Structure 1
Amino acid sequence: MSHNERVTDIFHRQLSNHSPISVKERLKKLSNMEDWIKTNRQAIFDAHYDDLRKPESEVELGEIWYVLSEIKLAKKHLTNWTKPLHVGISTLALIPARSWIHYEPKGVVLIIAPWNFPFNLSVGPLVSALAAGNRVILKPSEMAPNVSSLVKKMVDDLFQPEEVAVCLGDAEVANSLLGLPFHHIFFTGSPAVGKIVMSAAAKHLSSITLELGGKSPTILDETADVNLAAKKIAWGKCLNLGQSCIAPDYLLIHKSRKDEFLEKLSKRIDEVFGDTFDEKESSPNLTHVVNEGHWDRLNDLLTSAVKQGATIVHGGGKNKESNFIEPTILDTVTQEMKIMKEEIFGPLLPVIPFDKLDDCLDIINSKPKPLALYLFSNSRKNINRIIDNTSSGGMVINEVKTHFLNLNLPFGGVNTSGFGRSHGFEGFKTFCNERAMLKNGKTSLVWLIFPPYTSIRKKIIRFVTRYL
């Protein structure tokens, strides 16, 4: 049996299984996953190091803890999430009808995960899909082969293929999966590939969630706490070496704070990761670039910016053999440079000074709506002005990235940065059909507006349309 035939066979086996999965069964599946993750914690650490040289603490926080938090929240609330949500009637004409929303699984769903947070962004959506009662085919990234193989081992240990199956492979495997009529597709990745996924989904009218990316701006105004901002931006930009869809992509800073901030940010980077390039390259606290192709892309962004007049304020060291580029701050950057037109997804931070907040609004609103927007400010007026005059999937004030960790917040983008929401109850709903339910009986008044439209019934209809 060829790989494509095997994929198709698994899909149809899941599709033909119409038996509902009870809440009790779902809770058991989630508990089994929770136990497996806790038991195999060291294997998860090792796989991430082998693929990305990712520090153990980053794996603990950004991969394991996040997924366990999703499981914990789902287990705690699943019984309530699955209960009918009773709603009132919007018109008295429906008296005495009862109405409610019934959350039913979408059916057989496909999850396509990226390489940058390979466990988190594979297993996190899987938790939501299973909580909602779906059957799942999961396609992890071939660029993180060790983590992908580990995810497959977890699924093989815990599930039958008719429940959950993992398909390993490259874009050819993904394309074969996208040719199947899934009931829902959940994709995390770049906007360019998101368009391909959306086009494929349209052929089957499959519903879709796209978690994409974009250029997430960070604003630092004249009222900001520079010390606080330097520490948090250094962390947010250097976590996973900037290979994150919600990493600060570029910095807009009030010209009166620029020199002070750049000095403090440079100092903070050296304090945490080492004074020299060699110390940073061997630092146990810094990930490396995932592969040579992405290193080449980042190197092109850096060198082309410098050729066009950008200056390196801090960093700039690189080693292709180890797929490493140190955290690098760039000044005298213009909007015409390639680095300001593409999502960076790496350790390069362009800095652009501004005089007025309107300058920030002009830059941000000239680009596609970002997945995240960060603002460091102690001015309520400035905060409200940014909120009211921009649009983004999420916005964080005096912090970066941490909205992702609050599972009570819906996570997702806007237009080119994605659509649909994930995490917690929103993730559960993403994998559900919210079925509209209404029940009435013999005492229903609706029959009063049935034809034939006699003069009396016309009066009743007029009364209903005007007053009820």
Structure 2
Amino acid sequence: MASNPYTPEQDEQLVSSIEQTFSDQKAAFLATPYWSAEQRIAHLKQLRSAMMKYQNQLVTALDKDFGNRAEGDSKMADFMPSLMAVDYAIKHVKSWMKPSKRHVGMLFQPAKAYVMYQPLGVVGIITPWNYPLYLSLGPLATALAAGNQVMIKMSEFTPNTNAVMEKMIGEAFGANHVAIFAGGPTVAAHFSTKAFDHLLFTGSTRVGKLVMAEAAKNLTPVTLELGGKSPTIIGDDMDMRDAVSRFILAKTLNAGQTCVSPDYILCPEGKTDDLITACKHWFNKMYPTVEGNNDYTSIINQAQLERLTNWLDDAQQKGANVHCISEESVDACIAKGKLPLIALTNVTDDMIVMQEEIFGPLLPIVSYQDVEQAITYVNERERPLALYVCSHNKALQEKVLRNTHSGGVCINDAAMHVAQDDLPFGGIGASGMGHYHGPEGFQTFSKAKGVFAKGKINSAVQAFPPYGKLIHKLIYTFFIK
């Protein structure tokens, strides 16, 4: 991996700062354990105002961190959905906070029962490098709506973005309310050892297991957003140019460095050539050039670029056919830190690209004879974070929905389910656990506390021992049958 841009001395200072901030946030939460709806909305508006003020600085910092981060990728896929998450929370926090009335059985009357949504306390968020704004500010908005204190650990691979985030959040909030931490892997490892009241991690499955192991020592509940190999099933009824238009943006956005990017395509047998031709049509229309095109994002660092080229070499050596979708030289693009979209056919399970989440612009294509075979192919593998279906056949859509498991699904689109604020987002199995976004996100960062309340009349005394009284016989007659 790329070297840590933070010095050991900086990391050591950050570890000490985490200790102090965690203690301060715990104390601050105890001092104000339940913010009113008006106060929570004010916090969210503070965040929104700060984001608008620092918008351009954040976009510039992202560009520096990636070597070239398309301004459109930063605004459309990182900043804008973060802002939408804040606005959505502002709009709904009052309704989310309302107690949920529940039924009380006849035996326990007169009484009432309800669920109160109480802040958890101090929430930890560990953010990856690919979408450092959306994957930190999005959950931050929900955690603030739920009334929590929040500590965020940013990736060491986005130091310029981290610096702007620290300044932005520092102006909007006191460190005892919201705090941002940069630093390298040792800082991240220490961060995950803290006894947070909830910990949300977005990243690889390998690191997610380490984070969960540390959280378990404190019985800290976790939400893990891990990714995996998200398939796209193209129905036999679908025009191929139409089908590709449904997933090509999700595959090329951020140069494929997206956890819900289509990882491989399941294509009807005999239509692979049409698929590749359609990919070339759309890709070259979107990106007439790659090497010097600011609209096409670079691979984040040299280590990630080498990983992708090594996996490409591995596939080629094991018999895969390589189809460069761009008309430019792949080597020339690589020299500039970029990798154009590359399709791979004749792929086999012994290739690394068919074993690991690709997280880049490599696109394996697997042929299938019928949709049952495609479904079996998906189900024989670990459950993905997302699954995409390109088909106008309602029966096929329903068959895939009912017979596969995934964190989320798009029908005739890809990745856009993540931007739907009212839908829960989360993985299943190897792609993660738990979810956030929507009202489910508010509930993730809240304690659903059941409350049973009685008034002046205490009917329970009638059923006190000694047993065998008429009331007991009546209770048994009515409720044990």
> Is this contact kept in 1: 2:54–2:168, CA < 8 A?
no
Please tell me whether residue 208 in structure 1 is matched to residue 218 in structure 2.
no
After superposition, where does 1:304-383 map in structure 2 within 5 Å?
Answer: 304-315=314-325, 317-318=330-331, 319-383=333-397
Please tell me whether residue 397 in structure 1 is matched to residue 387 in structure 2.
no
Question: SS at the partner of 2:208?
Answer: helix
1:278-314 CA distance string (max 9 Å, x none): x312112211111111112111211100101100122
Please tell me whether residue 77 in structure 1 is matched to residue 92 in structure 2.
yes
Offset, 1:321:
4.3
Match of 1:12 in 2: 23
Offset, 1:223:
0.6
Between the aligned partners of 1:222 and 1:3, the Cα distance in structure 2 is 55
Corresponding letter in the other structure for 2:296: L
Please provide the CA RMSD for this pair: 1.6
* 344-353 or 32-41, which deviates more: 32-41
> Is this contact kept in 2: 1:229–1:398, CA < 8 A?
yes
Between the aligned partners of 2:13 and 2:64, the Cα distance in structure 1 is 29
Match of 2:425 in 1: 411
Corresponding letter in the other structure for 2:18: V
> Is this contact kept in 1: 2:14–2:183, CA < 8 A?
no
Q: Among 156, 163, 166, which residue is 1:152 paired with?
A: 166
Please tell me whether residue 261 in structure 1 is matched to residue 271 in structure 2.
no
Offset, 1:94:
1.9
Match of 2:231 in 1: 217
Between the aligned partners of 2:455 and 2:406, the Cα distance in structure 1 is 46
Offset, 1:464:
4.2
Between the aligned partners of 1:341 and 1:394, the Cα distance in structure 2 is 21
After superposition, where does 1:26-425 map in structure 2 within 5 Å?
Answer: 26-52=40-66, 53-89=68-104, 91-274=105-288, 279-315=289-325, 317-318=330-331, 319-425=333-439
Between the aligned partners of 2:322 and 2:13, the Cα distance in structure 1 is 51
Offset, 1:466:
2.8
Question: SS at the partner of 1:16?
Answer: helix
Q: Which runs of 5+ in 1 are unaligned?
A: none
* 166-175 or 243-252, which deviates more: 166-175
Between the aligned partners of 2:423 and 2:457, the Cα distance in structure 1 is 42
Question: CA 1:450 to 1:322, structure 2 compared with 1: closer, same or farther past 3 Å?
Answer: farther
* 75-84 or 386-395, which deviates more: 75-84
Number of aligned positions between the proteins: 462
Question: CA 1:92 to 1:256, structure 2 compared with 1: closer, same or farther past 3 Å?
Answer: farther
* 439-448 or 280-289, which deviates more: 439-448
Between the aligned partners of 1:256 and 1:96, the Cα distance in structure 2 is 69
Question: CA 1:153 to 1:328, structure 2 compared with 1: closer, same or farther past 3 Å?
Answer: same
Question: SS at the partner of 1:391?
Answer: coil
Between the aligned partners of 1:282 and 1:448, the Cα distance in structure 2 is 83
Offset, 1:450:
3.5
Corresponding letter in the other structure for 2:73: E
Question: SS at the partner of 2:290?
Answer: helix
> Is this contact kept in 1: 2:263–2:357, CA < 8 A?
yes
> Is this contact kept in 1: 2:290–2:338, CA < 8 A?
no
Offset, 1:231:
1.8
> Is this contact kept in 1: 2:320–2:346, CA < 8 A?
yes
1:140-177 CA distance string (max 9 Å, x none): 11111111111111111111111111111011111112
TM-score under structure 1 normalisation?
Answer: 0.95
Offset, 1:12:
0.7
Offset, 1:327:
0.7
Between the aligned partners of 1:167 and 1:269, the Cα distance in structure 2 is 38
Offset, 1:334:
1.5
Question: CA 1:329 to 1:112, structure 2 compared with 1: closer, same or farther past 3 Å?
Answer: same
> Is this contact kept in 1: 2:324–2:330, CA < 8 A?
no
1:417-462 CA distance string (max 9 Å, x none): 1111111322211110111111013434444444322253542342
> Is this contact kept in 1: 2:389–2:397, CA < 8 A?
yes
Match of 2:444 in 1: 430
> Is this contact kept in 2: 1:97–1:444, CA < 8 A?
no
Corresponding letter in the other structure for 1:27: I
Between the aligned partners of 2:115 and 2:283, the Cα distance in structure 1 is 51
> Is this contact kept in 2: 1:94–1:446, CA < 8 A?
yes
Between the aligned partners of 1:361 and 1:348, the Cα distance in structure 2 is 22
Offset, 1:396:
0.8
Match of 2:4 in 1: none
Between the aligned partners of 1:404 and 1:247, the Cα distance in structure 2 is 11
Between the aligned partners of 2:460 and 2:17, the Cα distance in structure 1 is 52
Corresponding letter in the other structure for 1:351: I
Question: SS at the partner of 2:363?
Answer: strand
Corresponding letter in the other structure for 1:59: S
TM-score under structure 2 normalisation?
Answer: 0.93
Between the aligned partners of 2:242 and 2:168, the Cα distance in structure 1 is 40
1:233-279 CA distance string (max 9 Å, x none): 221110001100100000001014322222111121122212xxxx3
Corresponding letter in the other structure for 1:294: Q
Q: Which runs of 5+ in 2 are unaligned?
A: 1-11
